A and B are shown apart, each in its own frame.
Chain A
Amino acid sequence: MEAKYEFEKKFREQILQCSRCGFCQAVCPVYGATLRPGLNARGKMLILKEIMDNKLDLSDELIETLFQCTTCASCFENCPSGVNVPEIIRQVRKDMVHIGSCHPAFKGMNEVLKKHPNIYAENEAEDFDREKNRKAEYVFFVGCVGLYREDESTEATLELLDRLGVDYTLIDEVCCSGVLEDVGYRINESLAGKNIERILATGAKTVITGCPYCYRTFNNKPQYEELREKGVEVVHVSQFLKDFEFGVRTDKRVTYHDPCDLGRHCGIYEEPRETIRKIAPDFVEMRHNHVDSLCCGAGGGVRGAFAKNSIAMARRRLEEAEEVGAEVVLTDCNSRVHNLANAKLRRQKFRIYNTTQFINELLDQAER
């Protein structure tokens, strides 16, 4: 019988391969925050199997479980049967959108990106008092969260690049729209085209992204193929910084949160740590780190659609920072800074920064 949905055509074997061992339950942030077995990878795979066996059909009722996944890939990393849950979930969401079942927040996001150049429907982009779209060696691509929600952190990153004498330019960037792929839609080609055109116009051979998700999108998605064809390299700011010396240090106890998009999805674990160790001799790892790092709950559209649980996931992450007595929690993603900062409890005395912002602050203090 012809498969009814794309997810079945592409992933039938993988879904059947799930032995329901439950190892994913131990690492799924959504399960950790809710303790609801239907929401972890095993629950999701069971539901999909029922659909393949014609015992259930895709419908609005399944939005809560199938859309409540941060695509953090912790389950995939720990799955003895090799089930690539985030990929499967992405495809299922596309099938759901196709039949008209979608979380309203994601539907809204897709609509916004049809009309506006960013996910926040903002029309005035901050220009950080810098000339944009000029010829330069590097393009610094900020990303939506950095432009509209964490602009202080972005300002600090740019100041740091200035201090390091980097010849970069900002561009009139629009949303990379990679996130649409996670929530059931496709990358908006018109937005991608604008980014490519504006990057190429600067003559830069390297794009530095502030956002791990933009980094992934530029490097992996076919809609950005042209950049790669034209020999433009895309690096994340944490990779770019690792060869610099900063000449400052902190006595504070510092820990690092691996963003899922940088760590599990791109394998970038060491570069951020190399940089941090240079400035923070008292660097400590949280209980879950590197490939086992606990997801902060922001990804996969979960922050927008299931805000309460997203915050609960971030709280679990911050408890681990507290456990190791960290005074500073560093990460390399504006979206993570945003979610973790929202989740921080008053009694938790540590501060949460992007690594760039923290280094810049140390340099400020040294100058004073």
Chain B
Amino acid sequence: MESAEQISEILKLANSKKIPVIPRGAGTGLSGMAVPAKGGIVLDLSHMNKILKISIEDRLAIVQPGVVYADLEKALAPHGFFFPPDPASGTVCTLGGNVATNAGGVKGAKYGTTRDYVLALQVVLPDGRIMRTGSKAIKSVSGYDLTRLFVGSEGTLGVVTEITLKINPRPPVTTTALATFDDLEDAGRAVSQIMHSGIIPSVLEILGRHTIVAINQNMDLNLPEVDAMLLVETDGYTREEAEYQMEKVIGVFNNNNPKEVKKARSLQDAEELWKARKSAYAVLARIKSHFVLEDVTVPMGKVADLLKGVEEISRKQGIQIATFGHAGDGNLHPQILYDGYDPDQVKRMEAASADLFKLAIDLGGTLTGEHGIGLSKAPYMGLEHDPVAMDVMRSIKKILDPNNILNPGKMALDG
């Protein structure tokens, strides 16, 4: 696929013949979003990979949807700018995929997610019409916010063919520290108190006990086997600015019975401190033949409750769940580890997922903070959204895609 016009022709044809069309970026989506569940045409957008414009004075970048996240990062770096969402899959995933899933990452707490940066879109609608939304201006309140309607729509409403993104100057200085806590309660309180201190760290990550133990069993990092580990980064334009924030955060740690607090003195030190967090995914990915990486999200004050709840679910369902994630925005990744060829374990995994979703909703949170609904979470949409909201979503889908050709079967929109 190379242009909106080509896509428009394909959609016109597919619409008239009622053939499903599934837009696809890099296929890194974690909830079966780009899976052609009902057959049809998979529209691979990776060839539309041009960065069309970078305008520093307008503070924006205009890209085609197949541009890989890391390629935009590379193009912005010489200008001292960046596009902050920073998903962990950034070397692979596409910006079109980021828009369609409203991707986020470790910097979510301070810098928000993709939705906060999309200024304008070009979209091909299911009937083949080509539409522009938004504007190049940083501010705009003109009409309904159609841009945001498409952000996070998981390819169910239109095919995004051009994206205008707001970009940020990258604060050049960062400081990093790590704290461990024997008691989860203390870690949870520390997270809440950081918010009270008025500081928003650029990164605030948490690793739970099972994740730490798994890392120790598979790598030579010799981590203390505690209930929780918090990794924090503050950033700024001057060293003083970053240090000032870090001092406050470390003060909070020290008030909450940490087992240990380590502050990086150099970039090399910082890399050492990041090692545990960075290795978590790969370590957990190797323990069993299969895993599900969830991304339930709760209000920040409830992070400790969520972690405790996950452990109870793990015990109750008799299945291994290791958790890590973004404490700074309440978005945790419980990784359920199981053997996909053992029907009993599959059942336990499914039961544990269902429990997790219920727990997150009970804590005032959401099924998914960044990975999206897709196929795997579709059955749980009703847990989070009331019947009126579901009805409105389905009505929007019907107006734009009356023949249900775009990514059908996803997000529980089929009724």
Contacts and interface: CB of A to CB of B under 8 A. Distances in A.
Is chain B a partner of chain A in the same complex?
Answer: yes
A81 interface: yes
A21 B46 contact: no
A37 interface: yes
A21 B292 CA distance: 12
A35 B70 contact: no
Interface in A68-117: 80-82
B47 A22 contact: no
A23 interface: yes
Interface stretch (A11-19, A151-159, A168-176): A11-19
Nearest to B279: A80
Contacts of A21: 28, 89, 92, 285
B311 to A, nearest CB: 24
B289 A22 contact: no
B338 to A, nearest CB: 12
A22 B46 contact: no
Given A35-B47, A80-B281, A81-B282, A13 B89 contact: no
A13 B282 CA distance: 16
B225 interface: no
Contacts, number: 50
A25 B66 CA distance: 13
Given A25-B92, A26-B92, A80-B282, A17 B289 contact: yes
| Interface size bracket, A side | 10 to 19
Contact of B286 (A22, A27, A81): A81
Interface residues of B, number: 22
B282 to A, nearest CB: 4
Contacts of B291: 19
A27 B285 CA distance: 19
B91 interface: yes
Contact of B46 (A13, A20, A35, A82): A35
A80 B89 CA distance: 12
B26 interface: yes
B384 interface: no
Nearest to A82: B286
Contacts of A25: 26, 92
A17 B28 CA distance: 16
A37 B44 contact: yes
A21 B291 CA distance: 11
Main secondary structure of the interface of B (DSSP, over half): loop
Given A35-B46, A80-B282, A81-B282, A23 B289 contact: no
B89 A22 contact: yes
B68 interface: yes
B65 to A, nearest CB: 13
Given A35-B47, A37-B44, A37-B46, A22 B28 contact: yes
B286 A17 contact: yes
B40 interface: no
Interface string B282-299: 100110011100000000
Contacts of A19: 285, 290-291
Nearest to B44: A37
A82 B47 CA distance: 29
A288 to B, nearest CB: 12
Nearest to B26: A22
Given A17-B289, A19-B291, A26 B68 contact: yes
| A19, A37, A81, most chain B CB atoms within 10 A | A19
Interface in A15-56: 16-17, 19-23, 25-27, 35, 37, 42
Interface string B258-289: 00000000000000000000000110011001
Contacts of A22: 26-28, 89, 92-93
Contacts of A17: 285-286, 289
B111 to A, nearest CB: 23
B308 to A, nearest CB: 27
Contacts of A37: 26-27, 44, 46
A26 B282 contact: no
The 7 closest A-B pairs by CB, nearest first: A80-B282, A26-B91, A22-B28, A22-B92, A81-B285, A16-B289, A26-B92
Interface of B: 26-28, 44, 46-47, 49, 68, 70, 89, 91-93, 281-282, 285-286, 289-291, 340-341
6 contacts: A16-B340, A19-B285, A21-B285, A22-B89, A27-B91, A81-B285
Given A26-B70, A37-B27, A80-B286, 11 more contacts: A16-B290, A16-B341, A17-B286, A17-B289, A21-B89, A21-B285, A22-B27, A22-B89, A25-B26, A26-B91, A81-B285
